[in-house]
Structure 1
Amino acid sequence: MSENYTSPLTERNGLKIVFMGTPEFAVASLNALVEAGFNIVGVITAPDKPAGRGMKMTESAVKKYAVEKGLHILQPLKLKNPEFLAELKALNADLQVVVAFRMLPEVVWKMPPLGTINLHASLLPQYRGAAPINWAIINGEKQTGVTTFKLQQEIDTGDLLLQEKILIGENDTTGQLHDIMKEIGANLLVETVKGIEDGSLQETAQSKALEQFTGELKHAPKLYTETCTINWNKTCDEVYNLVRGLSPYPGALTHLNGKILKIYQSGKEKVNTNMTAGQYETDGKTFLKFACVDGYIHALDVQLEGKKRIGIAEFLRGYRFEK
């Protein structure tokens, strides 16, 4: 526990907060609010579910943290369940904070007098949707950011509160950017709640932000198998960005002799090649590379269907190519 930790029940007065989130990304935000001394009267997270080979019941990352801090936890199966709505209302929250949670029905996000705010991993209105970190890297962006905003009915369209820009490195993966963003986002969220608490925060309608927006407006839809499948008829840069944009999850995929091969790390070799896009070349020991329209993509960290994720040298030592 931090030396600066103060009880959320004693340091601040009045503002009561319900926090909603599930994965590790949300834990950083919940922890930041707790460390800042806010009164978290309830934590809403996903129900426990079976996971792993033994299908053991597993708690969400947010629940594990909330249990450790002794916070009140609710895990509804359905957000419109009358019993859950009654329990939520009984918490008498002034504000609800949502980070990486499911879509809320109107009856939930409209419940507290100060409304419900959300932390989104992009500079809204750019990259609205479920996978903003992935798509920013897939599209080769050099900059992204985090945004806090007020929830409305249409997803990711509410009034903007605060934003902070974040640079994307040329070789950054989604996993690396995720870890940077969760910390920056957590600090921005604390700043946002403080602004709401003292009345100093000004809201900006996204419609107004769109009027000032220049460039192409891009979206961040959910990732599907088609999204993750490598199109070798693209450039090295495009395939390279796809690989890092899908690493460490769910992984960019192709096929190797009839089996799915996921590539988590790759390298670029821009050269003229007479090979058909998607054909591979290997020495069977140190490299495996696939032809693109302007060169090769070297597979450096891979996982063959049914096998574990390993480096390419180890993979080649155990793989027998068809003659």
Structure 2
Amino acid sequence: MRIVFMGTPDFAAASLRKLIDEKYDIAAVFTQPDKPRNRGMQMSFSPVKQLAVDNDIPVYQPTKLRDGTASEIIRSLNPDILVVVAYGRILPDDMLSIAKYGAINVHASLLPKYRGAAPIQWAVLNGDKVTGVSTMYLASEMDTGDVIYTAETEIGEFETSGELFDRLMVMGAELLHKTLTDIEAGTAPRTPQNHADASYVTMLDKSLSPIDWSKTPREIVKWVYGLQPWPVATMQLGSDTFKVYAAAYTETETDKAPGSIVSAGKNGIEIACAGGQTVLITELQAPGKKRMKAADYLLGHPIKVED
């Protein structure tokens, strides 16, 4: 099967690596334009471009998709199918029908849930027990196409978004291979999405970082792990903003107001939250310092707990 692959970040590179390993005929790769890196403004390849270059696969990096040029390039490559994984751009309608089998996508959620950006992080932030990956045919509107296959996995109670990302990246690559195999064999299913069940999620930003202590312990714990590796949850201690990397449940009950420190010692910093419950902060990072256990921080910076 002759493929034009379109993708940009690590998540996409895992799928491209799988296609290379399975000896697919990859006619070309389309990826986002190079971006300046660090203060030296050196240009940085996307993970997909680097992998393509390392394997002598032609690379295209158009700044526009709707002027017809990219579509003409794809037509000249005569692909059987377009494979799109986290490309970062919406394909114009004319591009979807160029290839014999159309265009398919790998999406990191169980569609129609979590259409849009950052589905992995929002699955953790929302406290979901299960998530997964989907393969689908691309349609005019984002993430609305017919689903081909899905694969589910449980989310660990203390699993970060970054850890889940790494697992779904591999699952997505495996599911893509199965999908392509069955499309070529003519046995791949095609199930329209129930749009009434659809939900949409957006990109994360730093405005999400401050922990809301009026939430339940589980909501706070999932917030801490869902915002890793970026933008990371934060809390205030005095006038300083600390990054929070680990939190745990407790059996403590308190009549203190949410956000009040209940205890601070060898186990960490216990803070009041919703319903007279508490949550234990066990790993943090002070401004200008390294990430460390909360107990270790307290050895040099004891906190006086008010009655």
Do Structure 1 and Structure 2 share a fold, with TM-score over 0.5? yes
CA deviation profile, 1:111-139 (whole Å, cap 9, x unmatched): 32321111111111122121111111122
Q: Which residue of 1 aligns with 2:17?
A: 31
Q: Which residue of 1 aligns with 2:138?
A: 151
1:230 aligns with 2:211: yes
- Within 5 Å, which residues of 2 pair with 1:237-248? 237-248=218-229
1:163 to 138, 147, 150: 150
Q: Is the 8 A contact 2:256 2:262 kept in 1?
A: no
Q: Is the 8 A contact 2:90 2:142 kept in 1?
A: no
Query: 3-state SS of the aligned residue for 2:115?
Result: coil
Query: 3-state SS of the aligned residue for 1:231?
Result: coil
Cα shift at 1:284: 6.8
Q: Is the 8 A contact 1:247 1:265 kept in 2?
A: no
Distance 1:237 1:91, change over 3 A: same
Distance 1:267 1:197, change over 3 A: same
What amino acid sits opposite 2:211 in the alignment? I
1:130 aligns with 2:111: no
| Aligned counterparts of 2:153 and 2:186: Cα–Cα separation in 1 | 27
Gaps of at least 5 residues in structure 2 are: none
Distance 1:163 1:269, change over 3 A: same
Q: Which residue of 2 aligns with 1:21?
A: 7
Distance 1:225 1:151, change over 3 A: same
| Aligned counterparts of 1:73 and 1:315: Cα–Cα separation in 2 | 49
Distance 1:17 1:318, change over 3 A: farther
1:42 aligns with 2:28: yes
- Structure 1 window deviating more from structure 2 (163-172 vs 53-62): it is 53-62
- Structure 1 window deviating more from structure 2 (171-180 vs 279-288): it is 279-288
What amino acid sits opposite 1:235 in the alignment? T
Q: Is the 8 A contact 2:253 2:278 kept in 1?
A: no
More strand by share: 2
Q: Which residue of 1 aligns with 2:179?
A: 192
Q: Is the 8 A contact 1:236 1:270 kept in 2?
A: no
1:119 aligns with 2:77: no
| Aligned counterparts of 1:162 and 1:241: Cα–Cα separation in 2 | 28
Q: Is the 8 A contact 2:264 2:270 kept in 1?
A: no
| Aligned counterparts of 1:288 and 1:298: Cα–Cα separation in 2 | 6
2:188 to 190, 201, 205: 201
- Within 5 Å, which residues of 2 pair with 1:1-323? 15-106=1-92, 107-207=94-194, 218-280=199-261, 283=264, 287-293=268-274, 294-316=276-298
Q: Is the 8 A contact 2:8 2:32 kept in 1?
A: yes
| Aligned counterparts of 1:298 and 1:240: Cα–Cα separation in 2 | 9
Query: 3-state SS of the aligned residue for 2:259?
Result: coil
- Normalised TM-score (structure 1): 0.84
What amino acid sits opposite 1:145 in the alignment? G
- Structure 1 window deviating more from structure 2 (220-229 vs 136-145): it is 220-229
Q: Is the 8 A contact 1:248 1:264 kept in 2?
A: no
Q: May I ask how many residue pairs the two structures share in their alignment?
A: 303
Q: Which residue of 2 aligns with 1:11?
A: none
CA deviation profile, 1:83-113 (whole Å, cap 9, x unmatched): 4443333222221111112132324334323
Cα shift at 1:309: 3.3
Q: CA RMSD in A?
A: 2.5
Query: 3-state SS of the aligned residue for 1:70?
Result: coil
Distance 1:301 1:108, change over 3 A: farther
Query: 3-state SS of the aligned residue for 1:248?
Result: coil
What amino acid sits opposite 1:117 in the alignment? I
| Aligned counterparts of 2:41 and 2:165: Cα–Cα separation in 1 | 27
Q: Is the 8 A contact 2:205 2:231 kept in 1?
A: no
Cα shift at 1:190: 0.4
- Aligned-residue sequence identity (percent) comes to 39
Query: 3-state SS of the aligned residue for 1:271?
Result: strand
CA deviation profile, 1:68-89 (whole Å, cap 9, x unmatched): 1111111222333554443333
